[in-house]
Amino acid sequence: MAAPLAPRGGAGVAGRCWLVLLPPLLLVLLLARSAGALVEGLYCGTRDCYEVLGVSRTAGKAEIARAYRQLARRYHPDRYRPEPGDEGPGRTPQSAEEAFLLVATAYETLKDEETRKDYDYMLDHPEEYYSHYYHYYSRRLAPKVDVRVVILVSVCAISVFQFFSWWNSYDKAISYLATVPKYRIQAMEIAKQQGLLRKAKEKGRNKKSKEEIRDEEENIIKNIIKSKIDIKGGYQKPQICDLLLFQILLAPFHLCSYIVWYCRWIYNFNIKGKEYGEEERLYIIRKSMKMSKSQFDSLEDHQKETFLKRELWIKENYEVYKQEQEEELKKKLANDPRWKRYRRWMKNEGPGRLTFVDD
């Protein structure tokens, strides 16, 4: 009966041996795990950045910077002089340059808090191999300037260009209207009634030349035209709210306004069956003509009244109007001598026809 007890005692001794050997094995595994985290091509390669600078993982920024300055002065290629018995990594000018680059890489890695966190995480979690590559290259290849700042500066630059471009177009339109007899005569009559031209001549009688008086009178006429004529379309007076920057800022408001307007349109005209007002009728006509709001606003008032009289918001009436416009355009082209020459050229010598004409 005593024989079976021997194996049980041997098993107990073997178990105790495993318990004794378990801590060293775990330590070896942990050391191997930390060493396996150092990958060639990431950070300091197979060297530990903390060991390169000679600091611990708990070192602060000041200690890391101080260690970097000391090693940088020591291994700088232009200042390096090997000392007797020097067994460091920079025993030759070439190795000194490599050591200097390694020290600089270690400092760049540890001086930034975010990069240092990624590096410490790599040391503690070497098994996440692809994740370390992603974090390393995402930070390294990321733009140095915030993309949001670049977008904001670009939008502001475009807005400034838009404003000055539109203002230049507006000035050109005013200068052109000042040469049109119809508007120039009306502006001069208003200026005479207000006494602006007489004041300009009295002020410049002794102090200004005739050219300066003429320029001042021209400016008075242009200012009257600006105040009396509302230019619409592409040459209208620039508004701050039309710039790209403000359009982007007001985009949520415009979107909500459009949704509310569209819901009201469906409710009032599709569900309740109300009749269209003048604004709604003009909107339907503009959509049928495929014109933008600025283009439609640039039309004369009598043209819009003609659209309303002919009830062009009704699809059938608009189709008739469109056909009439096409027929009228064909008649004009048929009577146009330039169009006749073009058709004659297309018939005799146009594309697809090989001729030998001696000019």
pLDDT in tens, 144-175: 667 788 888 999 999 999 999 988 888 888 88
* 164 and 215 both lie in a single domain: yes
* 115 and 54 both lie in a single domain: yes
Reduce the DSSP state of residue 83 to 3 states and report it.
coil
* 182 and 153 both lie in a single domain: yes
Domain termination site, one of 139, 157, 180: 139
CA–CA gap between residue 119 and residue 109 (Å, rounded): 8
* 280 and 332 both lie in a single domain: yes
Rg (CA), the chain: 42
* 99 and 161 both lie in a single domain: no
Q: What is the pLDDT of residue 32?
A: 41
Reduce the DSSP state of residue 215 to 3 states and report it.
helix
CA–CA gap between residue 278 and residue 243 (Å, rounded): 29
Is 119 contained in some domain?
yes
CA–CA gap between residue 233 and residue 303 (Å, rounded): 15
Is 217 contained in some domain?
yes
Please check whether residue 101 is in contact with residue 68, taking contact to mean a CB–CB distance below 8 angstroms: no
Is 83 contained in some domain?
yes
* 81 and 152 both lie in a single domain: no
Q: Residue 320 is part of which domain span?
A: 275-344
Global pTM reads 0.47
Is 22 contained in some domain?
no
Q: What is the pLDDT of residue 22?
A: 46
* 191 and 228 both lie in a single domain: yes
Is 75 contained in some domain?
yes
Task: Check which CATH number belongs to the domain holding 127 and give it.
Answer: 1.10.287.110
Q: Buried b / exposed e across 255-284, counting CB within 10 Å, b at 16+?
A: eeeeeeeeeeeeeeeeeeeeeeeeeebbbe
CB neighbourhood size of 93 (10 A) = 13
Is 353 contained in some domain?
no
- Give CB contacts under 8 A, 24+ apart, made by 273-279: 276/313, 278/308
Q: DSSP of 106-175, one letter per residue?
A: HHHHHHSHHHHHHHHHHHH-TT-HHHHHHHHHHHHHS-SS-HHHHHHHHHHHHHHHHHHHHHHHHHHHHH
Is 305 contained in some domain?
yes
- What is the mean pLDDT for each group of 10 consecutive residues in the chain (359 residues)? 43 47 44 53 84 89 90 77 53 71 89 88 82 78 74 91 89 86 84 73 60 81 80 72 88 92 91 88 90 80 89 90 88 77 66 47
Domain termination site, one of 122, 139, 156: 139
* 156 and 222 both lie in a single domain: yes
CA–CA gap between residue 74 and residue 68 (Å, rounded): 10
Domain termination site, one of 103, 120, 139: 139
Q: How many domains does the chain have?
A: 3
Is 166 contained in some domain?
yes
CA–CA gap between residue 104 and residue 310 (Å, rounded): 81
* 164 and 132 both lie in a single domain: no
* 223 and 288 both lie in a single domain: no
* 105 and 163 both lie in a single domain: no
Tokens of 144: 């140095």
